[in-house]
A and B are shown apart, each in its own frame.
Chain A
Amino acid sequence: MTSADTVEGRDVVAGTGSGRSPRRPRRGGGQRQSGAGWLFVTPTLVVLGLFLVVPIVMALWVSVTDWTGRGSPFSSRVGFVGADNYQALLTEPGLSRQDFMISLRNTFYYVLGVVPLQTVLALGLAVIVNQRFLKGRTFFRTAFYFPSVVSSVAISLVFLFLFTGTGAVNQFLGVFGVDGPTWFSDPRGLIHLVGQGLGLWSIDAPPSGLAGTQVMSLSLWDWFSGPSVALSAIMLQVVWTTAGTFMLMFLAALQDLPTEVEEAALVDGANAWQRFRAVTLPTCARPSCSSSRSGSSAPGRSSTRCTS
């Protein structure tokens, strides 16, 4: 039995932990702690292992085999094919490459739209709700945050209703004489529409230079389509839903802002915009406030629907 070694080792581990009193554990208690420690983390490790680590390994393994989807991917009849699947996806022209490229394009436009819009909206909401003269700040903070905690299915249903062809949004736009699109069922790209609006091209007869050049199974015309109207509606929904969460983060940062800094700016004669640019914005630009993570997390929330 190497109990002396174990105790030494344990102390080393304890030493690397956060500053704790340098109490040496009694031998019996220490051994009990070691057993209890592993016992306490075992359920977590088993569940995370089975439903996260194993799937990760499995996904990696399957991606380098010729597994057809039937039987176990670990059976002996499944062969290792190296990077063949990746090569097929990226170099062989065909439907799967085209689908993959469309999904890449859509994700790119999605992130390009959602991240800045979300950040600006969240910052705007935070600055407004942070105004000290405002009455009912708690109420508005609650209202802006509430969509973040509601089921994405429920929110999708409401948005599907609001954004139908004759729905609330289009009726509202109609008040200003705008004839709204059919939103969730409109596959036309935004850039295509803007170009047509400016008289640069016609969507029905795209310029042959763009439509005729294929890059990775997708014509240049398709690459530069911009997000479709349907995807834009989804993006609006996601921005609306998640801005409240980021608003809370910005608020936390704003409330951490030392009074002296703002006072100093005031004494120096900075006007409201200068104070916002030079004081508020840098405060909110701390890493903990960055909303860039949303690019990867938001699609998961709104994955109830697919888009064209």
Chain B
Amino acid sequence: MSEIGIDARTQAQTVKDMRRLDPTGRPAGDGGSVVHRSSRGKKLLVYLALVAFALVYIYPFVVQVSTSLKTNADAVAHPLAVLPDPWTTAAFARLADTDFPLWFTNSVVVTVCVTLGRVFFNSLAGYALARLRFRGRDAVFTAILAVLAVPGIVLLIPKFLVLNYLGIYNTYPALVVPLLVDAAGVFIMKQFFESIPPSVEEAARIDGAGTFRIFWSIVLPMARPAVITLTILSFQGSWNELAHFIIATDDPRLFTLTRGVAQLTSGGLGSGNQFPISMAAALLMTIPTAIVFVVFQRYFTQGANAGAEKG
């Protein structure tokens, strides 16, 4: 990351130098001012575009926050207004009366289980595929890559049948187990383990450490950046998951946030549009993501690009 930053800065410096050198060879005074003027115009244009896009990207979240603190009448009459008139926390109070707290708890439980499981199992498999020699390793890796290409949406109904067949439909395992492993995560871990020099492991092996011990106490701690990336991707993936939870349960006690809120706001509230309540629900389910995102921003961007390279 920092390397790229330095690179960009030197690049910027060089470009600036080039400008000053006036490569077109025009008379110094005249040409210089032309370049100067056009770059100022360009700057203005870029700033204008930036402000417009920033507005388009930030305003919806501002509306979300302010509407959650409005009365329903105010929200309907003044959807563009940033400041609520009057201020009220009634929406949050009403939300607390629904099953929202239960859904939140379920989401936390599922997300924690899925994230821990994914980090552990994906690292195990990634390590085996990167380092351990066993018959059929290449075939296993090819199979995992092939699975990456299947669009999940067409498998929802057969997945439901499998869950039903295994007798775990409408249980916590049905919510968690199918999400415990993801092929993309295995791929990310494998790539990272391959970048670690094998000499350390060899030393440990000569000292008599077992394979799991080498993995657990030596290699995994060295893979900290990849583990953090994977943790964040898993957190985000399972916190935001909806389709799987729809087919894994129809028991309201097992609803997660996405499932519960989607149901609540599509008619579960009774009379009419209750925009402050739905905005409050949206806000509360966004906050954990926002906190993780701001704290671990660097790893999010890395994860996005790791995902990009796989395709």
Interface residue ranges, A against B (CB under 8 Å): 6, 9-11, 13-14, 16-18, 20-21, 23, 25, 29-30, 32-38, 40-41, 43-45, 47-48, 50-56, 58-59, 62, 72-73, 124-125, 128, 131-134, 140-162, 164, 166-168, 171-172, 240, 245, 248-249, 252, 255, 259, 262-263, 266-267, 269, 272, 288-289, 293, 296-297, 299-300, 303-304
Complex interface: stretch among B83-91, B134-142, B220-228 = B134-142
CB of B122 to closest CB in A, whole Å: 7
Q: Is the CB of B147 within 8 A of A53?
A: yes
Q: Is B113 located at the chain interface by the 8 A CB criterion?
A: no
User: Given that A40-B127, A153-B285, A267-B23 are contacting pairs, would A51 and B140 also be in contact in the complex, using a CB cutoff of 8 Å?
Assistant: no
Cα distance A119–B186 in the bound complex, in angstroms: 28
Cα distance A134–B186 in the bound complex, in angstroms: 38
Type the 1/0 row for B242-271, where 1 means its CB is closer than 8 Å to any CB of A: 110000000000000110011001000000
Q: Is B217 located at the chain interface by the 8 A CB criterion?
A: no
Interface set, chain B 1-48, CB cutoff 8 A to A: 4, 7-12, 14-15, 18-19, 23-24, 38, 42-43, 46-47
Q: Is the CB of A44 within 8 A of B181?
A: yes
Question: Could you name 23 residue pairs across A and B whose Cβ atoms are closer than 8 Å?
Answer: A10-B133, A13-B138, A18-B194, A36-B134, A37-B137, A40-B132, A44-B121, A44-B181, A50-B178, A54-B162, A56-B155, A58-B162, A132-B15, A133-B43, A148-B304, A161-B67, A161-B79, A245-B304, A249-B305, A259-B11, A263-B14, A267-B23, A288-B309
CB of A161 to closest CB in B, whole Å: 5
Cα distance A153–B161 in the bound complex, in angstroms: 25
User: Given that A33-B132, A263-B14, A293-B311 are contacting pairs, would A304 and B242 also be in contact in the complex, using a CB cutoff of 8 Å?
Assistant: yes
User: Given that A128-B50, A266-B23 are contacting pairs, would A56 and B134 also be in contact in the complex, using a CB cutoff of 8 Å?
Assistant: no
User: Given that A54-B158, A158-B63, A162-B60 are contacting pairs, would A267 and B18 also be in contact in the complex, using a CB cutoff of 8 Å?
Assistant: yes
Cα distance A17–B61 in the bound complex, in angstroms: 48
Cα distance A35–B137 in the bound complex, in angstroms: 12
Chain B interface extent, by class: 35 or more
Q: Is the CB of B286 within 8 A of A150?
A: yes
Q: Is the CB of A33 within 8 A of B211?
A: yes
Q: Which residues of B contact A297 (CB under 8 A)?
A: 151
Looking at chain B's contact residues, the main secondary structure is: helix
Cα distance A18–B205 in the bound complex, in angstroms: 20
Q: Is the CB of A162 within 8 A of B155?
A: no
Contact of B181 among A33, A47, A140, A154 (CB under 8 A): A47
Q: Which residues of B contact A47 (CB under 8 A)?
A: 121, 177-178, 180-181
Q: Is the CB of B11 within 8 A of A132?
A: yes
Q: Is the CB of A145 within 8 A of B300?
A: yes
Q: Is B183 located at the chain interface by the 8 A CB criterion?
A: yes
Q: Is the CB of A34 within 8 A of B135?
A: yes
CB of B196 to closest CB in A, whole Å: 12
Cα distance A44–B126 in the bound complex, in angstroms: 10
Q: Is B108 located at the chain interface by the 8 A CB criterion?
A: no
Contact of A43 among B140, B181, B305 (CB under 8 A): B181
Q: Is B236 located at the chain interface by the 8 A CB criterion?
A: yes
Q: Which residues of B contact A249 (CB under 8 A)?
A: 304-305, 308
Cα distance A15–B50 in the bound complex, in angstroms: 52
Contact of A37 among B50, B133, B285 (CB under 8 A): B133
Q: Is the CB of B60 within 8 A of A37?
A: no
CB of B106 to closest CB in A, whole Å: 14
User: Given that A53-B147, A304-B242 are contacting pairs, would A262 and B15 also be in contact in the complex, using a CB cutoff of 8 Å?
Assistant: yes
User: Given that A13-B135, A47-B178, A166-B76 are contacting pairs, would A149 and B159 also be in contact in the complex, using a CB cutoff of 8 Å?
Assistant: no
Interface residue ranges, B against A (CB under 8 Å): 4, 7-12, 14-15, 18-19, 23-24, 38, 42-43, 46-47, 49-50, 53-54, 56-58, 60-61, 63-64, 67, 75-76, 79-80, 121-122, 124-125, 127-129, 132-138, 140, 143-144, 147, 150-155, 157-159, 161-162, 165-166, 177-178, 180-181, 183, 186, 194, 198, 202, 205, 210-212, 215, 236, 239-240, 242-243, 257-258, 261-262, 265, 273, 275, 278-279, 281-283, 285-286, 289-290, 293-294, 297, 300-301, 304-305, 308-309, 311
CB of A187 to closest CB in B, whole Å: 18
CB of A265 to closest CB in B, whole Å: 10
Residue of A23, A36, A167, A255 with most chain B CB atoms under a 10 A cut-off:
A36
In the complex, residue of chain A having the shortest beta-carbon distance to the beta carbon of B59: A168
Cα distance A263–B12 in the bound complex, in angstroms: 11
New contact pairs (5) apart from A132-B11, A158-B61, CB-CB < 8 Å? A32-B210, A56-B155, A240-B57, A296-B151, A300-B153
Q: Which 3 residue pairs spanning A and B have beta carbons closest together?
A: A37-B134, A55-B158, A40-B128
CB of B258 to closest CB in A, whole Å: 5
Cα distance A157–B155 in the bound complex, in angstroms: 26
In the complex, residue of chain A having the shortest beta-carbon distance to the beta carbon of B159: A55
CB of B163 to closest CB in A, whole Å: 8
Cα distance A140–B134 in the bound complex, in angstroms: 47
User: Given that A153-B242, A304-B242 are contacting pairs, would A140 and B147 also be in contact in the complex, using a CB cutoff of 8 Å?
Assistant: no
Cα distance A32–B53 in the bound complex, in angstroms: 57
User: Given that A10-B133, A41-B140 are contacting pairs, would A255 and B4 also be in contact in the complex, using a CB cutoff of 8 Å?
Assistant: yes
In the complex, residue of chain A having the shortest beta-carbon distance to the beta carbon of B154: A59
Q: Is the CB of B150 within 8 A of A52?
A: yes
Q: Is the CB of B300 within 8 A of A157?
A: no
User: Given that A150-B289, A293-B311 are contacting pairs, would A248 and B305 also be in contact in the complex, using a CB cutoff of 8 Å?
Assistant: yes
Cα distance A23–B273 in the bound complex, in angstroms: 69
In the complex, residue of chain A having the shortest beta-carbon distance to the beta carbon of B121: A43
User: Given that A52-B150, A157-B278, A158-B63 are contacting pairs, would A29 and B297 also be in contact in the complex, using a CB cutoff of 8 Å?
Assistant: no
